[in-house]
Amino acid sequence: MNLLPLFWLLISSSTDTLYLDLNQALQTALKKSPQAAEASVARLQSWLTLGQGINPALPAPQANITRSKELSGQALWSTNLTISQVLFDPAVFANFINGIVNARYHSLDAREKIAALIFQTTTDYLNLLKAQLLLDAAEKARQQAAENLNYTTERYRLGQASRIDLLRSEVFYSRAQINLLSAQKNAALSQEKFRATAGINRPQFIRATEQLTSPADFPITDPDSLLAAIEHINPNVQMSQNLTTAARLNLGAAFARILPAISLYRSWATLDTTLPKNYRAWEETTTRTDGIHLSFAVADIKTFLLAIGDALAGSRRARAALARTRFQLRAAAQSALLDLQEAKLRYAEAKRNLELNQELYNLARTQHELGAFSLNDLLEVEVNLAQAEVSYLTALCDTYIQTAQIGYLLGKTDISARAR
């Protein structure tokens, strides 16, 4: 029976093969992924927000030229140049500090995006590697099942095997084919998932070359300290803290508007039938005015009170969001630690189970060749060995995935520490 080459059918559009280890995969994602571009925009937005916050506190020039006509039809030209400087304005200074706070928010947002990209790329790459290894194991199991079926078929033809032996061999072969089809589909899907995450547009076949020979090394000597570090370092918590700080500043600024806003200004104005031809002519016809400007926001009591109410609501909302983020992060961190510990224990058991199944298979093969072990029993041992290999490979990759998740919660953006 011919096996449909589903895996090769799904990747038939690939023009070449791209070999990547984990470090190369991460570097590719940081260059090509749309999420990396979003992080770059967030960093730019950080600088723009800082500039927007500082701008109102700087001297503000304003210039205009106006042409009008008198009833006589005579044209008049007026010029005006005004420079103002804020001395005291709660709204301006709150905006200044908010600019600094929000600039940090966008910087943290960029960091969170990069950390998330590294985690997702690591996860998708390891899933790709796992799918390749499982595909190899499934193909090996199918080949063994095919050899056993051919052997049993020949023995049945010679009258040395029963019909039951033949049917059981066919069943094992059919099961191996089904498992191979599933492995082929998963390998093809993992290709598409990794390409989407890494931003690879070309229809390349990705071959993961990372060699995993031992579980991820992430010693957890003090889970409580690690949880505390995650709560302190995590970008999402820091962003929520920034939003809380900004809300408090807005509340303080809303109450401070009971005080007048004060600014100084100096203006130069001209009015003539012609525009000044040069600086000297403009200076001779210019009237300079110096003054102080006071603005009382509290005079509009409705707007003043509504602003205070809105600031109070924003402050309470920000505090609630910060508390929610901390609770969610702690739950995610606890889950990640438990998952990592479970993955390591499962790896140790899977490795031991694989060694036992390998030893059992070698012994059973020898006994079968001596006629002391039936073919049906040997097939059962082979199936258990294949399942043990799958469990081992899955557990090995999972230790790295869970380690990457903890790195994401810590906001790690250094890929050098992730490459083996």
pLDDT tens digits, 31-79: 999 999 999 998 898 888 888 888 888 888 888 888 887 766 677 888 8
Q: For residue 334, give the 3-state DSSP assignment.
A: helix
Predicted confidence at residue 4, as pLDDT, reads: 46
Highest average pLDDT, of 325-329, 373-377, 414-418, comes from 325-329
Paired sense of beta strands 205-208 and 17-20, if any: parallel
* Domain locations along the chain: 6-409
To the nearest 10°, report the CA torsion of 41, 43, 45, 48: -130
Average pLDDT over residues 385-401: 88
Q: How many CA atoms lie within 13 A of 136 on its CB side?
A: 9
Query: Over the chain, what is the mean pLDDT?
Result: 84
Asked if 144 and 172 count as a contact pair (C-beta separation under 8 A), the reply is: no
The CATH superfamily of 6-409 is Outer membrane efflux proteins (OEP) (1.20.1600.10)
Q: Residue 169 and residue 148: Cα distance in Å, rounded? A: 7
Query: Whole-angstrom distance between the N-terminal and C-terminal Cα of the chain?
Result: 42
Least confident of 185-199, 268-282, 354-368: 268-282
Per the model's pLDDT, the better-predicted residue between 29 and 265 turns out to be 29
Q: Which residues pair with 413 in a beta bridge?
A: none
Q: Which residue type does 101 have?
A: V
Q: Is residue 271 left, alpha or beta, with left meaning phi > 0 and alpha meaning psi from -120 to 50? A: beta
Average pLDDT over residues 170-195: 91
Q: Residue 30 and residue 114: Cα distance in Å, rounded? A: 8
Q: Which residues pair with 268 in a beta bridge?
A: 81, 288
Per the model's pLDDT, the better-predicted residue between 202 and 176 turns out to be 176
417 has a pLDDT exceeding 60 = no
pLDDT > 70 fraction of the chain, expressed in percent and rounded: 94
Q: Which pTM value belongs to this model? A: 0.79
Asked if 43 and 106 count as a contact pair (C-beta separation under 8 A), the reply is: yes
1 has a pLDDT exceeding 70 = no
Q: Give how far the C-alpha of residue 236 lies from the chain's centroid of Cα atoms, to the nearest Å.
A: 12
Predicted confidence at residue 420, as pLDDT, reads: 45
Burial 308-344 (b: 16+ CB within 10 A, else e): beebeebbeebeeebeebbeebbebbeebbebbeebb
Name residues whose C-beta falls within 8 Å of residue 311's C-beta, 6 or more positions apart in sequence.
247, 250, 251, 253, 254
- The tens digit of pLDDT for each residue in 197-216 reads 999 887 788 999 988 888 88
Confidence of residue 264 (pLDDT cuts 50, 70, 90): confident
Q: Residue 394 and residue 409: Cα distance in Å, rounded? A: 23
Confidence of residue 3 (pLDDT cuts 50, 70, 90): very low
Q: Residue 283 and residue 389: Cα distance in Å, rounded? A: 90
Q: Residue 241 and residue 29: Cα distance in Å, rounded? A: 29
Return the CA Rg of the chain.
Answer: 36
